[in-house]
Amino acid sequence: MNEIRPIEWANGTLRLLDQTRLPTEEVIVEVHGYRDAVAAIENMQVRGAPAIGVTAAYAVAMAAHELDSSDRATFLRLLAEAGGEIKAARPTAVNLMWAVDRMMTVANAMTDPGTDPSEIKERLVEEAVLIQKEDEAINRLMGSHGKELMPDGGSVLTHCNAGALATAAYGTAVGVIRAGWEDGKRFKVFNTETRPFLQGARLTAWEFKKLGIPSTLVVDSAAGMLMHRGEIGCVITGADRIAANGDTANKIGTYTLAVLAKENGIPFYVAAPTSTIDLSLDNGDRIEIEQRPQSEVTEFRGIPVAPDGVEALNPGFDVTPARYVSAIITEAGVARPPFIESLDLAVRSAR
Ligand code: MRU
């Protein structure tokens, strides 16, 4: 199978499959400097928590190469400043902060005062390549753990895009669905269009087509009716940040799906790497929710879909309280409630 790998590093240049152009055009954008990488994250040419993390890691490596200081201490100070800019690109996906911190830890660990910054620069490229490789391996592991939760017969609903495009390759929630199919299980797949940015319609439906897994696209608001009719066997989504107690931030509309799933007695699963778990937060109340431009709601690709000047609110994410989550699949296995214990164990065993 031709794997979808949305991020490629070649000779000091980052090549991104432009996710704003899919599904109609498959265009590669070349990113030559860290500020361009930040812009690509901000304008959603690359999106999805793990993919943002991988891009951020390369952004730190590029920032290092853009610095010409030969003094180690000055170099590290300027690199930390660039790291701060990279972290500010989007607020909710903690993989962004996780990746920058990991890169800075690597740079700072080269403590010999005689270390030439050029050695640090090379080491940072190696680390970014490693983060990208690890992400693919982690997704495949999540698939192997999560496939047991996929039904043989029946159906699965997924939201937003938690596929290869949102990661280095393979995907989180879509990876689990794919692993179930690769295991020979057969079930119907529904995916929501995911208003207003249409990650489900544009990206997930495109991926399922490439994978040869038949999927049915539904408007977000059809999910409740389908669940009530018994047409959905389970729901599986990705995550942008998971607090220590299992409260899960993910694409706006996830909370609605989770509540509907509970009301209808349907399991609700989350698939995410341990780099998405933020043990510094006791619960989801303090997860910063990105506010996106009003124009994403009032227009579609420049065409107005609401009266001129109308006020719109566009939160990019919501937080699903842990009580609605049946299990969280990570590379360390399938974590069940109480998540305060099982997530702590998952994070520790993944290190
Ligand atoms: O705004 P986006 O498209 O970056 O949001 C993406 C999501 O909400 C995904 O579900 C999440 O990042 C998990 S991706 C494996």
Which domains are delineated in the chain? 7-140 (1.20.120.420), 143-350 (3.40.50.10470)
Looking at ligand 1, which atom is closest to the CA of residue 173? 15
d(CA 316, ligand 1 centre) in Å: 9
For the Cβ of 49 lying below 6 angstroms from any atom of ligand 1, the answer is yes
Q: Exposure of 289 by Cβ count < 10 A (0-12 exposed, 13-18 middle, 19+ buried)?
A: middle
Looking at ligand 1, which atom is closest to the CA of residue 272? 15
Cα-Cα-Cα-Cα torsion 132, 133, 136, 137, nearest 10 degrees, comes to -140
DSSP letter at 238 equals -
Looking at ligand 1, which atom is closest to the CA of residue 292? 1
185 is written with which tokens? 């299980």
- Residues taking part in catalysis: 240
Alpha-helical runs (H) found in 67-116:
72-87, 94-109
Q: Which of 251, 269, 291, 292 to mutate to test the pocket of ligand 1 (most atoms within 8 A of CB)?
A: 251
Cα 167 from Cα 281, distance rounded (Å): 24
Residue with tokens 């690359």: 46
d(CA 156, ligand 1 centre) in Å: 18
Which residues contact residue 3 at a Cβ distance below 8 angstroms, ignoring those fewer than 6 apart?
164, 169, 170
For the Cβ of 191 lying below 6 angstroms from any atom of ligand 1, the answer is no
221 is written with which tokens? 């608001």
pLDDT in tens, the chain (351 residues): 679 999 999 988 999 999 999 999 999 999 999 999 999 999 999 999 999 999 999 999 999 999 997 788 899 999 999 999 999 999 999 999 999 999 999 999 987 877 888 899 999 999 999 999 999 999 999 999 999 999 999 999 999 999 999 999 999 999 999 999 999 999 999 999 999 999 999 999 999 999 999 999 999 999 999 999 999 999 999 999 999 999 999 999 999 999 999 999 999 999 999 999 999 999 999 999 999 999 999 999 899 999 999 999 999 999 999 999 999 999 999 999 999 999 999 999 997
- Cα 261 to its chain centre, rounded Å, is 22
Protein residue with its CA nearest to atom 2 in ligand 1: 48
Residue with tokens 């609700």: 268
According to DSSP, the β-strands at 234-237 and 155-158 are parallel
Kindly report the number of other CB atoms within 10 A of residue 229's CB atom: 9
d(CA 241, ligand 1 centre) in Å: 10
Which residues contact residue 184 at a Cβ distance below 8 angstroms, ignoring those fewer than 6 apart?
none
d(CA 266, ligand 1 centre) in Å: 22
For the Cβ of 100 lying below 6 angstroms from any atom of ligand 1, the answer is no
d(CA 119, ligand 1 centre) in Å: 34
Q: Exposure of 17 by Cβ count < 10 A (0-12 exposed, 13-18 middle, 19+ buried)?
A: buried
**Chain segment 30-59, per-residue pLDDT in tens:** 999 999 999 999 999 999 999 999 999 999
Cα 62 from Cα 82, distance rounded (Å): 10
Q: Which of 7, 97, 240 to mutate to test the pocket of ligand 1 (most atoms within 8 A of CB)?
A: 240
Specify which residues 319 forms β-bridges with: 249
For the Cβ of 91 lying below 6 angstroms from any atom of ligand 1, the answer is no
pTM of the model: 0.97
272 is written with which tokens? 């995410």
Alpha-helical runs (H) found in 147-253:
173-182, 199, 205-211, 223-228
